[in-house]
Amino acid sequence: MIDGDDPLFQTLTIRGKLLKNRIFSTGHMAVMLDDGKPTARMVAYHQAKAQGGAALTIIEAARVHPSGDSGRPAIRAYDPACVPGYARLAKACQPHGCLVFAQLSHPGREMTLAADGTHPVAYAPSTVPNERFHVVPRELPLLLIKEIIDGFEVSAAHMRQAGLDGVELVASHGYLLGQFLNSNINQRSDAYGGSRAGRMRFLQEAIAATRRGAGEDMVLGVRLSGEEKDHHGVEIDEMLEVCAAMDANPALDYLNVTAGTSAGLAGSTHIVPPMAYEAAYTAPIAAAIKARVRKPVFVAGRINQPQIAVAVLQSGQADMCGMTRALISDPQMPAKAARGAISDIRACVACNQACIGHMLNACAISCIQHPETGRELEFGNLVPTTSQKRIMVAGGGPAGMKAACIAAARGHEVTLYETAGALGGQVNLAQLLPGRSEFGGVTTNLLRELENAGVAIRLNVPVTQELVREESPDAVVVATGAVPYSSFIEGAEEAHVVTAWQVLEGKANIGARAVVADWRCDWVGLGLAERLARNGCHVRLAVNGMVAGQTIPQYARDAWLGNLHKLGVEIIPHVRLFGIDPEDAYFQHTLSGEPVVLEAVDTLVTALGHTPNTELERALKELAVPHHVIGDSLSPRTAEEAILEGLKIGASL
């Protein structure tokens, strides 16, 4: 149990500003802007964290100069039109004792397409190509450097005018300020390159300009990647010297430490690290920096539960813990921890699906477990029912569990029925994939919500017509899920063919040479391939897509692909399953139409999607009972859609 004496709830004062605890939300793109300005939706999103007890929320990276604008929407901090939106954010969060900082940034060579679909001119310290986005930048001329520095001052003045508490400069993740620090990227021979002092000049001038614009009362910090963890990335030894130099700058108040870089696929996985990485794995990096500086050190990176943050603080590795995804998953996390309700916290499982996954797809961020996040204006306050109903929920997977929680919380009498002996549905299978055990937290968290909402649970009880007649409910929520899709595979009767479910349930004896036929292009194919390879199988992953994991968030996929390469798994893209015989598996190239024969196959493992279970739905139509179909029983998709539909139907009953 965490009590009030815990370091997590000790205060910290920086430049006269009081941080009421050691929990903060790092700057991250929420995709809630309108023409480069914060919206009411964005205000509500940050306000929820403030109401939940966070000491600080840092607003996403804003651009300080038009040369940093790209097709990815961002606040234009250099434009005075941003001030009213920032002011609304401040007024929404500060009354709850939550400080509000804004990030100032320039992407440099990390440029995506412009808003009109063309490639903009990218600027960097030197003409060194970017590997991830395949951009060749133009070297920044001195005149433009001065304009960008001036942009930091102008932008900071706008933050002060809006009433914000602080400003943070983004020198992390391989963006422009960080590019100048990297000798592999900064190859200049003028005053902004050469020695470490020269490479730091751009950042030092940006700090000075920001302090001029912010005045003496606002907090000023810098976010840095202690290790970029990528080819040609900056390493810890260099960053220790940079941080020591920053520590001597009186204009600067704190250092915010993270890891990774946007410049490469390997480094970018650390921007929002998936569950493949250990909890708080960046804390040792912060500790090394803290040992060299006197200024407060913030840290972020897979700190997803209060007890993990406590360990970081108690060990002296950092002074503040960034818990961004933990707050996305449960905005009330700090308040729950403060009152000792640890088991009520909806712990983040680092699936990255609805947070960074949405952002990379230019959609407003949310959370698969807590779809209310990002939808606070719609679902932030549940309205109690004025007419209590008796609700039967058929199916104890994520959709049914969420629907039952929400309906019961609103005052309905809800009973949840599950055919199996445990709740969780396909989550119970997903957590069996290598490195995915943490995903089982989805079930754990929903179970606690069911308990708190007072939902009656009946296991090993299928919902039938007879049961519905007997119970005579006011409405039935059908969340009966799906089963593996079954299609004709020529030659399957003479070969060894098993499904992904059979492998995960331990019901299949896999031969020494396995082929995974992966139509889904998601976690399942990747996970099966890794599991079989670690068990000593020779594995080929045959994917009906451009790349294995095509449909899942990039950072989770890329980390997994790296692991499979190390394990020697062969990945064959652009193939559809055609047939099999006792020795070989037959595929067709999806683009050329030509045959692709994989020889010497002992076992074919199929991951071909799912078919909805509609039996109960048909029975209820015969009975003319009011019913609502959600989740995979409506259409097989993912846990995100299942839980969202559970929320929507629970809120509408």
Report yes or no on 1 lying in a domain: no
- Segment 589-617 shows an average pLDDT of 98
**Within this chain, do residues 374 and 274 fall inside the same structural domain, yes or no?**
yes
Within-domain flag for 569: yes
pLDDT value of residue 441: 97
- Long-range contact set of residues 371-379: C-beta below 8 Å, sequence gap at least 24: 371/640, 371/643, 371/644, 371/647, 372/647, 373/45, 373/48, 373/328, 373/329, 373/331, 374/30, 374/32, 374/41, 374/45, 376/41, 376/44, 376/45, 376/47, 376/48, 377/40, 377/41, 377/44, 379/647, 379/651
Are residues 420 and 523 located together in one domain of the fold? Answer: no
> Of the residues 351, 378, 405, which one is the last residue of a structural domain?
378
| Pairing, β 23-25 against β 320-322 | parallel
Strands (E), 439-564: 456-459, 475-478, 482-484, 497-499, 513-518, 538-543
The string of pLDDT tens digits covering residues 453-499 is 999 999 999 999 999 999 999 999 999 999 999 889 999 999 999 99
| CATH for 420 | 3.40.50.720
Residue that has been written with the tokens 């001597």 in this structure: 248
Using an 8 Å Cβ cutoff, are 126 and 139 in contact? yes
51 falls within a domain: yes
| Residues 135 and 250 placed together within one structural domain of the fold | yes
| Same domain assignment for residues 202 and 328 | yes
Whether residue 623 is found in the same domain as residue 548 = no
378, 403, 428 — which closes off a domain?
378
Which residues, other chains included, contact 119 with Cβ-Cβ below 8 Å and sequence gap of 6+? 111, 113, 135
Q: Dihedrals φ, ψ of 496, to 5°?
A: -100, 100
CATH number at residue 552: 3.50.50.60
Please give the model's pTM, rounded to 2 decimal places. 0.96
Give the mean pLDDT of 25-53: 97
- 311: three-class secondary structure by DSSP: helix
Maximal CA-CA distance, the chain: 84
Nearest alpha carbon to residue 525 among 543, 504, 507, 512: 543
pLDDT at 1 over 50: no
At 477 the pLDDT is 98
pLDDT in tens, 327-385: 999 999 999 999 999 999 999 999 999 999 999 999 999 999 999 999 999 999 999 99
* Same domain, residue pair 603 and 626: no
At 2, the pLDDT band (50, 70, 90 cuts) reads: very low
Q: Rounded to whole angstroms, how far apart are CA atoms 36 and 84? A: 12
Q: How many Cα atoms occupy the beta-carbon half-sphere of 160 within 13 Å?
A: 17
The C-alpha atoms of residue 554 and residue 535 are separated, in whole angstroms, by: 26
192, part of any domain: yes
Same structural domain for residues 116 and 237? yes
Domain closes at, from 329, 345, 378: 378
Q: Which of 78, 123, 175, 277 is catalytic?
A: 175
Alpha carbons 373 and 384: distance in angstroms, whole number: 20
| Residue span of the structural domain in which 92 resides | 7-378
Q: How many separate domains does the chain show?
A: 3
Q: At what angle do helices 40-51 and 83-93 cross, to 10 degrees?
A: 30
418 and 330 belong to one structural domain? no
Q: What gap in Å lies between CA 566 and CA 377, rounded to an integer?
A: 46
% of the chain beyond a pLDDT of 90: 97
DSSP state of 603: E
- Told to judge if 175 belongs to the known catalytic residues of this protein, a careful annotator would answer yes
Flag whether 2 is in a domain.
no
Question: Do 101 and 121 share a domain, yes or no?
Answer: yes
**Phi and psi angles of residue 526, each rounded to the nearest 5 degrees, phi first:** -60, -45
How much is the pLDDT for 188? 98
For residues 600 and 618, state if they share a domain.
no
Instruction: State the pLDDT at residue 4.
Output: 46
The answer to whether residues 25 and 57 touch, using CB atoms and an 8 Å cutoff, is yes
Please indicate, yes or no, whether residues 221 and 253 belong to a single structural domain of this protein.
Answer: yes
Give the pLDDT confidence of 175-197 residue by residue, as tens digits.
999 999 999 999 999 999 999 99
Alpha carbons 88 and 375: distance in angstroms, whole number = 18
Q: Using the predicted structure, report yes or no on whether residue 114 has a pLDDT greater than 90.
A: no
Same domain, yes or no, for 245 and 346? yes
Is 265 within the bounds of a domain? yes
CATH code of the domain in which 60 resides: 3.20.20.70
- Nearest C-alpha neighbor of 347 from the set 366, 325, 321, 376: 325
What is the average pLDDT across 235-249?
97
Domain membership flag for residue 199: yes
Q: Is residue 358 part of a domain?
A: yes
Decide: 639 and 489 in contact? Cβ < 8 Å.
Answer: no
